[in-house]
Structure 1
Amino acid sequence: MEIRQFPFYFKSTIILFGIILLVYAMASLRGILVPFSFALIIAILLNPLANYFQRKGIGKIFAIIFSMLIAFLVFGGIMYFISSQIIGFSEKLPILKNKLFELLVHFQAWVQTTFGISLARQVQLVNEAFSSSNGLVGQTLGSALTTLLLVFILPVYVFLLLYYKTLILNFIYESFAEKNSGQVADILRQTKSAIQSYMVGLLIEALIVATLNSTALLILGVEYAILLGLLGALLNMLPYIGGIIAIALPVLMATVTKEGYSTQLGIIIAYVAIQFVDNNFLVPKIVSSKVQINALVSILIVLLGGALWGIAGMFLSIPFIAIVKIICDRVEGLRPFGKLLGDEVPTKYGGLLSGRRNTKASLSEEIVKNTK
């Protein structure tokens, strides 16, 4: 029987139409997919801990509950610390607002003198900017509702994903031909280990960066140094874009609370140095060496994630593109896409790679390997 070959333009049109439908479905089902995506990542992280408890003779249900309880205590402790810092920050908010207003008046006078824009025109431009962003109120309300949904539904998702893990894996196995079962098992095993090591590496990296940020800000005498350092570490998970915001926050705080500009300059120098250490030493040594994403893809996927799912999408985009790269690297027909996403830069054409290649296991990969 002759197999009909469709022309390229027909196949590319079908693929493009499928991508459009997928993006539309992901945007429409945001309220369901966002908490499920976070739950999937948390379940992957807690899976080794649940397996450890089961090996110690604890039943499956109680092993999952104990794992979730430990995660809840750690997360609750971090949130308690952040909330206490925010309460202290809110007590000085009136003073900070007055100082910020004074700076704003000086800035308006500078703009009028330098660019010849009158104060009335400046106020008009600001009002137009605010009126054009009224839709942000609805987005903010939607984000609040999504956060509330996360609090209640996330633990349920995590528990059920861990409980039905075997059922889900068996479904994946049975979805492929029996002759491919060995390859599917190998892909799933390597993918799970790589994802776990990548996420563990991100957490370790964030802890180190938070410590470095807070130490630098404390030395420079910036108020709420620990809170700003921790926020900077969280924002650092957003490649390049998050780093810029992380620098802007303490610079703004120093501008409001201190005279002169020496502190702001010190903050910029310290954060640039920390970013250098992070990118050249921490990430290669700690984060999984198998899922490094190049700068172009990182920036593009963060922006696309933000456009699709807002702030949650920006944080979820990097772990999920890492998962896509892991799968592409292990499926024969998808390996060119894995190379395109990766950070190994070839110096020759024709698929010959002579760029960076990290063959030594990272710290996170060793940690995950030792928990098996």
Structure 2
Amino acid sequence: MIKVFSDWYKRKFSDPDAATLLVLILISAIALAVWGNMLAPVLVAVVMAYLLDWPVERMSRIGFSRPVATSFIVTLFVGICILMLLVLVPVMVNQGTDLLKELPQIWAQTQQWVMMLPERYPGLIDGNQLQQMWQSANDKIVTVGQDLITASFTNLVNIAAILIYLILVPLMIFFMLKDKHELLSNVSRILPKERRLIKQVGAEMNVQIVNYIRGKVIEIIIIGTATTVAFVVMDLRYAVLLGVLVGFSVLIPYIGAAVVTIPVAVVALFQWGLTPDFWYLMIVYSILQALDGNLLVPLLFSEAVSLHPVYIIIAVLFFGGLWGFWGVFFAIPLATLVKAVGNAWSEQSAQLQEEK
């Protein structure tokens, strides 16, 4: 057993480049675990700068200086964010508030419908068991509601931190974009000279993640807009709120679409009941989901992340359990990093075997 482990260790880490890559990964993981909360604004700025670097590079290639291109792109980005805060967010907040007010009524109506099931299907459903299950669900909802209220009051203290983010993050994005080459040069001086595998992983990650993020942004805009328009045309209540939720649900492959279907179906059922309008809406919604999965995703991600669905689901569950919302948000990029590191180590091991 010891010999097997020793052979595996020599095969994977005998190359100094492999050892350097391992040390870098360990240091990064420890830094995130220990100082993750303190570094959060920096990490957000790095991600945003990474996303905005593509249009800045395009403007630089057509003749604009980097400071001018950076100023234009960052101003445009901040303007779009402010526009969304002034136009889209108030509508979503109003609709979300109205939905919260009607939740007790929706829940009571759902309870009446569920309690009628034993009468309709006496041989299949036990009324007593159903009553116990419903009471347990009510108790769980009360507990969750209390936790949400407590969390809301706790988060009020973080308003000052949010204001700091709104000022510091755009400034960091601007300087990261404007002084990109100088910052990368400074980082390069810190890293060891044996960094062939680091460059290989970085190059693979860059190609995969740029394509993935660009495709996800386009997918969110298309699906969110199409769903919102469909809901508004069909006069569904809380159309903007639900449409935006459907758009952002594509960030979590497979799981997101399944979860967001529940509020859409519940709101439609509460508004229309089991009428033709309800079924028309669900048919249109199903068509949009089918077009997303079978047409839009293959077009947008043909050259992006090539991960098996099982690995994607495992990544969402693992990183989501580890880091919550941000773990889910970055699950696929992190899974891509794991894949790139595995590929680099496998290629390095194969080269060592050939040299022997």
TM more than 0.5: yes
Q: Match of 1:260? A: 274
Question: Equivalent of 1:154, from 138, 150, 169?
Answer: 169
How many angstroms apart in 2 are the aligned matches of 1:255 and 1:187?
49
Q: Match of 1:231? A: 245
Q: Match of 2:352? A: none
Q: 1:73 to 1:44 in 2, by over 3 A?
A: same
Map 1:1-372 to 2 at 5 A. Answer: 7=6, 26-55=32-61, 60-89=66-95, 92-93=98-99, 96-97=102-103, 99-107=105-113, 109-110=115-116, 114-116=126-128, 122-123=134-135, 126-127=138-139, 130-131=142-143, 141=154, 145=158, 148=162, 150-171=165-186, 173-174=188-189, 175=191, 177=193, 184=199, 188=202, 191-287=205-301, 289-325=303-339, 331=344, 333=346
What is the CA deviation profile of residues 215-257 of structure 1, one whole-angstrom value per residue up to 9, with x for unaligned ones?
4324543123233222201111111111112212221211222
How many angstroms apart in 2 are the aligned matches of 1:160 and 1:309?
28
Q: Counterpart amino acid of 1:275?
A: Q
1:291, distance to aligned residue in structure 2 (A): 1.6
Q: Match of 1:341? A: none
Q: 1:305 to 1:34 in 2, by over 3 A?
A: farther
Q: Counterpart amino acid of 1:170?
A: S
Q: Decide whether the 8 Å contact of 1:54 with 1:63 is kept in 2.
A: yes
Q: Counterpart amino acid of 1:302?
A: V
Q: 1:128 to 1:289 in 2, by over 3 A?
A: closer
Percent sequence identity over aligned pairs: 20
Q: Counterpart amino acid of 1:333?
A: S
Please tell me the root mean square deviation across aligned C-alpha atoms, in Å.
Answer: 4.5
Q: Decide whether the 8 Å contact of 2:208 with 2:305 is kept in 1.
A: yes
Q: Decide whether the 8 Å contact of 2:115 with 2:127 is kept in 1.
A: no
1:138, distance to aligned residue in structure 2 (A): 6.3
Q: Decide whether the 8 Å contact of 2:99 with 2:238 is kept in 1.
A: no
1:116, distance to aligned residue in structure 2 (A): 1.1
1:69, distance to aligned residue in structure 2 (A): 1.1
The number of residue pairs the alignment matches comes to: 329
How many angstroms apart in 2 are the aligned matches of 1:179 and 1:104?
60
Which structure: greater helix fraction?
Answer: 2
How many angstroms apart in 1 are the aligned matches of 2:150 and 2:97?
28
1:20, distance to aligned residue in structure 2 (A): 9.5
Q: Decide whether the 8 Å contact of 2:224 with 2:244 is kept in 1.
A: yes
Secondary structure of the residue that 1:292 maps to in structure 2?
Answer: coil
Q: 1:139 to 1:66 in 2, by over 3 A?
A: same
Secondary structure of the residue that 1:293 maps to in structure 2?
Answer: coil
Q: Decide whether the 8 Å contact of 1:34 with 1:309 is kept in 2.
A: no
User: Which ranges in structure 1 are unaligned for 5 or more consecutive residues?
Assistant: 337-372
How many angstroms apart in 1 are the aligned matches of 2:311 and 2:65?
43
Q: Counterpart amino acid of 2:6?
A: P
Q: Decide whether the 8 Å contact of 2:223 with 2:292 is kept in 1.
A: yes
How many angstroms apart in 1 are the aligned matches of 2:114 and 2:156?
33
Q: Counterpart amino acid of 2:285?
A: Y
My pick for the range that moved more, 94-103 or 218-227, is 94-103
My pick for the range that moved more, 121-130 or 244-253, is 121-130
Q: Decide whether the 8 Å contact of 2:220 with 2:247 is kept in 1.
A: yes
1:302, distance to aligned residue in structure 2 (A): 1.4
Q: Decide whether the 8 Å contact of 1:210 with 1:233 is kept in 2.
A: yes
How many angstroms apart in 1 are the aligned matches of 2:93 and 2:137?
33
How many angstroms apart in 1 are the aligned matches of 2:151 and 2:27?
23
How many angstroms apart in 2 are the aligned matches of 1:209 and 1:124?
36
What is the CA deviation profile of residues 49-86 of structure 1, one whole-angstrom value per residue up to 9, with x for unaligned ones?
22344456655444323211111122332333322322
How many angstroms apart in 1 are the aligned matches of 2:57 and 2:195?
29
TM-score by length of 2: 0.72
